[in-house]
């Protein structure tokens, strides 16, 4: 089969490596990809939002399967466009990707179908939001821009002054653009966070092994929220009891709710869960693999990626026995110092060859590119996702941190406490 992967981050590198393991994969392309992805796929310079470009490329190359990794093209309707052109695509259509694309939509869905989540109100004017905050709110409180904001549209406000500032940022200064047309104001919850990814075929859902992300930029969960600074899988806090609760009240309930709304979901649903003292609650849904969750979950998956993706498209996921290795993975992100605010790019990266021929270490590329002289240089905030497999989390963590030393570039930055939580388990 000829497969096209759409996206350019560490997640798409992990997807490409997973697809490459399938005996069915004859040729893999990635649009637009990055320097590391060229090791497994032919990267083509078509932007992920260039739907016309992607459709005509698929026709020209007779692509058999498209895997859309990123949220923006999914929410924008790339899968619909591919479907209309008769090209098979793995990922939700636009009317289902709204599960991630609009927080107001997902909150209303959860309320309507009794799926456990934080209490909330939705506002479409700053005045109404401010009125609510001044008269009815309890602090801390959480403000969320309705639309996509690179994981940065969530503000946790300790008091009224911070919340007023937050409303200004999202709705008046429009820092996240149209994503701030509506605002969700939500109850603040406490607890440990777990990411659970799943495959869905419209009616059946199969759960992947759990993961735990580290969203804040600095050690000890300090600093700004980022796309994710590293993670590990499985999460020892995702116990059998938690799993049972989520299967009963969250996973199938979400899939059934989407189907009942006439928005059958096919693809990956990412459940961002918080394990609160009152039980698991949904923090958010994403309509795709997490980044870097894909980098710790996919290397542990035993199944053929293409077979699972096709079963989601064909509605035959119930026939698939989804299996994961009984091991663990840890991913440490090497970022550019200054991420997520401002940082320099274009520094040469050395040591990448250390990963060659090792099958329990992975160097997933995120922000990298080739410069004019053919060297691999830094090209983003998150640069590399250094991942190691181990027989348990501690072993995987020490291997991952050891491998972070193999690579160097100017302004290299990482957190030193990825997976520290496992010592508390
Ligand atoms: P989200 O993009 O909705 O996952 O939010 C980003 C991060 O903000 C989450 O991973 C949590 O750490 C935090 N967060 C979101 N919603 C809440 C909430 N209701 N209570 C406490 N923290 C939250
Ligand atoms: N790592 C969180 C996300 O992909 O949204």
Residue with the larger pLDDT of the pair 152 and 32: 32
> At the top level of CATH, which class does the domain 2-94 belong to?
alpha beta
Fold of the domain built from segment(s) 119-187 = Dna Ligase; domain 1 (3.30.1490)
The full DSSP string for 176-196 is TGGGGSSEEEEE---SEEEEE
Site residues for ligand 1, CB cut-off 6 Å: 118, 142, 151, 154, 156, 186-189, 193, 215, 225, 272, 283-284
DSSP 228: -
Fold of the domain built from segment(s) 329-424 = 3.90.600
Ligand 1 atom nearest the C-alpha of 272 is: 4
Which residue CA neighbors atom 5 of ligand 1 most closely?
154
Whether 152 has a pLDDT exceeding 80, the answer reads no
pLDDT tens digits for 239-282? Answer: 999 999 999 999 999 999 999 999 999 999 999 999 999 999 99
Out of 72, 151, 231, give the residue to mutate to test ligand 2, the one with the largest number of ligand atoms within 8 Å of its CB: 151
**Could you give the percent of the chain with pLDDT greater than 70?**
100
Give distance in angstroms: CA of 270 to centre of ligand 2: 9
pLDDT tens digits for 261-271? Answer: 999 999 999 99
295 near 385, Cβ under 8 Å? yes
| pLDDT score, position 225 | 85
Number of the ligand closest to the Cα of 286: 2
| pLDDT score, position 63 | 98
Tokens 């997640």 identify what position?
11
| pLDDT score, position 150 | 77
Q: Mean pLDDT of all residues in the chain?
A: 97
Q: Could you tell me the pLDDT band of residue 10, with boundaries at 50, 70 and 90?
A: very high
Q: How far apart are CA 322 and CA 23, in angstroms?
A: 18
Mapped onto helix, strand or coil, the DSSP state of residue 268 is strand
- Mean pLDDT, residues 142-150 taken together: 93
CATH superfamily of 192-319: ATP-grasp fold, B domain (3.30.470.20)
Q: How far apart are CA 93 and CA 307, in angstroms?
A: 20
pLDDT tens digits for 176-233? Answer: 999 999 999 999 999 999 999 999 999 999 999 999 999 999 999 999 888 899 999 9
Which residue CA neighbors atom 4 of ligand 2 most closely?
290
The residues with which 370 forms a beta bridge, in sequence order, are 376
Domain positions in the chain: 2-94, 119-187, 192-319, 329-424
């Amino acid at each position: 089969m000829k497969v096209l992967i759409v996206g350019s981050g560490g997640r798409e590198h992990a997807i490409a490596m997973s697809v490459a393991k399938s005996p069915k994969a004859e040729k893999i392309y990635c649009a637009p990809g990055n320097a590391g992805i060229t090791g497994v796929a032919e990267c083509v310079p078509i932007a992920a939002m260039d739907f016309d470009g992607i459709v005509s490329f698929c026709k020209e190359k007779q692509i058999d399967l498209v895997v859309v990794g990123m949220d923006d093209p999914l929410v924008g309707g790339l899968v619909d466009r591919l479907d209309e052109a008769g090209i098979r695509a793995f990922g939700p259509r636009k009317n289902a990707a709204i599960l991630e694309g609009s927080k107001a939509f997902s909150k209303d869905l959860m309320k309507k179908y009794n799926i456990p989540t934080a209490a909330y109100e939705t506002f479409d004017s700053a005045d109404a939001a401010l009125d609510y905050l001044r008269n009815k709110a309890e602090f801390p409180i959480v403000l969320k821009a309705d639309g996509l904001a690179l994981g940065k549209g969530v503000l946790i406000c300790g008091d009224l002054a911070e919340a007023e500032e937050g409303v200004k940022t999202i709705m008046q200064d429009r820092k996240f653009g149209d994503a701030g047309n509506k605002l969700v104001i939500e109850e603040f919850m406490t607890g440990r966070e777990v990411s659970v990814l799943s495959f869905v075929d419209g009616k059946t859902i199969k759960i992947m092994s759990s993961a735990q992300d580290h969203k804040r930029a600095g050690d000890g969960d300090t600093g700004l929220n980022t796309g994710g600074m590293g993670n590990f899988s499985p999460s020892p806090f995702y116990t059998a009891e938690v799993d049972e609760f989520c299967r009963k009240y969250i996973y199938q309930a979400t899939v059934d709710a989407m189907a009942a709304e006439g928005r059958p979901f096919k693809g990956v649903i990412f459940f961002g869960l918080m394990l609160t003292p009152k039980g698991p609650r949904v923090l958010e849904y994403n309509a795709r693999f997490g980044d870097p969750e894909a980098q710790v979950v996919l290397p542990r998956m035993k199944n053929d990626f293409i077979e699972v993706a096709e079963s989601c498209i064909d509605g035959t996921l119930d026939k698939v026995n989804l299996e994961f290795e009984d091991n663990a993975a840890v991913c440490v992100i090497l970022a550019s110092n200054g991420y997520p605010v401002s940082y320099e790019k274009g520094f040469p990266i050395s040591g990448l060859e250390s990963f060659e021929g090792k099958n329990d270490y992975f160097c997933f590329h995120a922000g990298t590119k080739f410069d004019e002289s053919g060297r691999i240089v830094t090209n983003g905030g998150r640069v590399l996702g250094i991942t190691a497999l181990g027989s348990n989390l501690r072993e995987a963590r020490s291997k991952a941190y050891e491998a972070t030393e193999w690579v160097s570039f100017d302004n290299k930055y990482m957190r030193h406490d990825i997976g520290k939580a496992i010592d508390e388990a």
